[in-house]
Amino acid sequence: MTTPAKSDGATLTKDADLGETLLKVTGLQKHFPIKKGLFQRQVGAVHAVDGLDFEVRAGETLGVVGESGCGKSTMGRLITRLLEPTGGTIEFEGKDITHLGVGGMRPMRRDVQMIFQDPYSSLNPRHTIGTIVGAPFRLQGVEPEGGIKKEVQRLLSVVGLNPEHYNRYPHEFSGGQRQRIGIARALALKPKLVVADEPVSALDVSIQAQVVNLLDDLQEELGLTYVIIAHDLSVVRHVSDRIAVMYLGKIVELADRDALYKAPMHPYTKALMSAVPIPDPRRKHAKSERILLKGDVPSPISPPSGCRFHTRCWKATEICRTTEPALKELRPGQRVACHHPENFADQAPQDTVLLTAAKEAAELVSEEALAKSAETSAAVAAAAEEAAEASSDDAASSDDAGSPPESGEPSSEPGEPSSESGEPSSESGEPSSESGEPSSESGEPSSDDAAREPAAPSAEVKKQSVAKEADDDRQESSDD
C-alpha cells in the first residue's frame, strides 16, 4: 500500500526507493508428519511449505495468493512463529528467530502480530471484547498510559467500533465488526509487522471494502508493514505493493503488483490472472482467452517431481518433469520459477518436446466459446426449472406430498476455499500464541485430516464458474 517506486529516469533505481528489509525468509519448510498405527509411526509428511525465499520490506504490503491448500496460512503461521519450521531460516530485523522458544519470542511478539482467517472462530466467545483486545497488554506485562481499559477503548475507536461496547461478547457483533476486533487486538502493542490471513474473505463484499480501507488507513497512520494472504486476486491487487504467487508449498512468482498484473511470467500466474475480470475499459472489447486448468491440484504429500506445476501446465516439457526450476530474477524485481516463462527468453531452449499429457491438462478457451457455453448453461437451467415447475404442478394436482423436485443447482460456489474448521491450532512443540489464537479450533488433526488433499473443483464445475464470470463480465461491459 506504499506508493510505488518513482520513475524519474535512469538515475533512480527501484531499489533506491525501497524500504529496509524487515523480514527475510530463506528456504523455509514445514512438513507435517503423518502418523499411523498403534505406535504412531510416521508414514509420510504433508509438504505444506517447501522452501520459500522472500523478504518483506519496511512499510510495504506483500500479498500472497494461491489456491486453497497451497500453504499460505502455514507460511503465515511460520513467519509469526506460531508454528515451528522444519527447515530454513526466518530473520526479523536481522535477528534469526527461526527456533526461538516462547521466552525468546516474548519481546518479538510485540512486533509481529497476526490477524486470523476466520473472524468467527478467532475470538474466544467466553471473553468480553475488552478482555480480548486487552489480552496482549496483560500477556506482555505492558501497562499503557491511562490504563488498559482506556487504551482498549481507544483502539476500538481507531478500528471504528464503539468504545462503549467494551463489555460486550463476540456473538453480539457482526462478521465485519469481529474482524475489526481482531485487527484492534493485533494492533494493541503497536507491531511492526502484521500478517493478515484472509482478513476479508469471510465478509460480505461491502464490508470487505471497509476492512481493506481500514487496513490501508492504519498502515499510513502507524507505518505498518503487512503480509496479506488471500485467494481473491482483486483484493490482493488492491492492497499489495508486491505479490507472491504460491503453488503447492512453493513461491512460483514474486513481483511488483503492476508488473505481475500486466505481464505475468509464470504460466500458473497467467492462468490465475486470466480468470479475473479486468476492470479496464480499454481492454473491454479486446479478444482475450481464459485458461482453464484441468485436473486436480496434486497432493502435497507426494508433490510432482521437477516443476510441481508440470502436471497441469500446457507448456511442460521433459525438463519440467525432471528438474525443479529455481526462482530467478528474470526482470528487475520479478522473480520466476519456470523453464519456459511467458514473454521471455526460454530458460531451457534445448528442451522442446512438449509432454503430451501436460498439453492435455489445460485448455485455452476463447471468449466466444465461453459465451456460447454460458448460453447453453442458461438454456439448460431454464429447461430444468420448467421441468421442475411442471413436476411440482403435477404433484400438487395429484395431491402427492412426496419429496421436492431435485434442483440441478450446485450447492456451493465452485473454487471456494475449504472450511477452516479442520485447521489445527497447534502442534506439539510449537510456541503457543500469546495474543489470541483461535479459541475454538480443535487441536491436532487425525492423520486422515493431515492427508486431506486440497479440494479442486472438477473441470466441468470450473467451466460453469468461468462461463458465469464471462456472463458477469459482459453484464459489466453493458453496464458501462
Point out which residues bind ligand SF4 (CB under 6 A): 266-267, 307, 309-310, 313, 315-316, 320, 325, 338-340
For residue 190, how many other CB atoms are within 10 A of its CB?
13
Task: Using the structure block, give the residue that is written with the C-alpha cell 431454464.
Answer: 382
Query: Which among Mg ion, ligand ATP, ligand SF4, none contacts residue 316 (Cβ within 5 to 8 A by kind)?
Result: ligand SF4
67 residue type, one letter? E
Sketch the per residue contact string, 73 through 112, with ligand ATP: x for CB under 6 A, - otherwise: xx--------------------------------------
Q: Are 119 and 201 in contact (CB under 8 A)?
A: no
225-229 and 193-197 as β-strands: parallel, antiparallel, unpaired?
parallel
Closest approach, Cβ 26 to ligand SF4, in A, equals 22
Query: Which among ligand SF4, Mg ion, ligand ATP, none contacts residue 454 (Cβ within 5 to 8 A by kind)?
Result: ligand ATP
- For 303, what's the count of Cα atoms within 13 Å in the CB-facing half-sphere? 23
Cβ-based nearer residue to ligand SF4, 99 or 359: 359
Q: Give the separation between CA 117 and CA 139, rounded to whole angstroms.
A: 22
How far from each other are the two terminal CA atoms of the chain, in whole angstroms?
A: 28
Nearest-Å Rg of the Cα atoms of the chain is 24
Q: Are 105 and 92 in contact (CB under 8 A)?
A: no
- Measured in degrees and rounded to the nearest 5, phi and psi for residue 23 equal -130, 135
Q: Give the separation between CA 429 and CA 306, rounded to whole angstroms.
A: 32
Cβ-based nearer residue to ligand SF4, 89 or 299: 299
Query: Which among Mg ion, ligand SF4, ligand ATP, none contacts residue 452 (Cβ within 5 to 8 A by kind)?
Result: ligand ATP
193 residue type, one letter? L
Task: Using the structure block, give the residue that is written with the C-alpha cell 461491502.
Answer: 206
Q: 382-387 contacts: CB < 8 A, separation 24 or more?
A: 384/408
Integer CA distances (angstroms), 447 to 248, 249, 438, 452, in order: 19, 19, 21, 9
The residue range among 62-70, 215-223, 260-268, 345-353 that interacts with ligand ATP, by the rule CB under 6 A, is: 62-70
Closest approach, Cβ 423 to Mg ion, in A, equals 7
Query: Which among ligand ATP, ligand SF4, Mg ion, none contacts residue 32 (Cβ within 5 to 8 A by kind)?
Result: ligand ATP
Cβ-based nearer residue to ligand ATP, 237 or 250: 250
- Applying CB under 6 A, does 465 fall inside the site for ligand ATP? no
Q: Where are the beta strands (DSSP E) in 302-372?
A: 328-331, 334-336, 362-366
**Which letter does DSSP use for residue 164 in this model?**
G
- Applying CB under 6 A, does 28 fall inside the site for ligand ATP? no
Residue nearest to Mg ion according to CB distances in the complex: 73
Query: Which among ligand ATP, Mg ion, ligand SF4, none contacts residue 267 (Cβ within 5 to 8 A by kind)?
Result: ligand SF4
112-115 and 193-197 as β-strands: parallel, antiparallel, unpaired?
parallel
Closest approach, Cβ 395 to ligand SF4, in A, equals 53
Closest approach, Cβ 169 to ligand ATP, in A, equals 27
- Applying CB under 6 A, does 72 fall inside the site for ligand ATP? yes
Cβ-based nearer residue to Mg ion, 267 or 417: 417
Q: Kindly tell me which residue out of 25, 28, 65, 70 binds ligand ATP, with binding defined by CB under 6 A.
A: 70
Q: Which are the contacts of 339, defined by CB distance < 8 A and separation ≥ 6?
A: 307, 317, 319, 320, 323, 325, 346, 347, 348, 351
- Applying CB under 5 A, does 73 fall inside the site for Mg ion? yes
Q: Are 18 and 5 in contact (CB under 8 A)?
A: yes
**By CB under 6 A, what part of segment 307-346 binds ligand ATP?**
none
Closest approach, Cβ 63 to ligand SF4, in A, equals 20
Closest approach, Cβ 50 to ligand SF4, in A, equals 15
Q: Kindly tell me which residue out of 13, 234, 392, 418 binds ligand ATP, with binding defined by CB under 6 A.
A: 418
Cβ-based nearer residue to ligand SF4, 351 or 430: 351
Q: Kindly tell me which residue out of 46, 156, 188, 273 binds ligand ATP, with binding defined by CB under 6 A.
A: 46
Integer CA distances (angstroms), 37 to 442, 448, 452, in order: 21, 12, 18
107 residue type, one letter? P
Q: Kindly tell me which residue out of 119, 136, 199, 300 binds ligand ATP, with binding defined by CB under 6 A.
A: 300
Q: Which residues of this protein are in contact with Mg ion, per CB under 5 A?
A: 73
Q: Which residues of this protein are in contact with ligand ATP, per CB under 6 A?
A: 32, 46, 48, 66, 68-74, 231, 300, 417-418, 423-424, 427, 445, 450, 452, 454
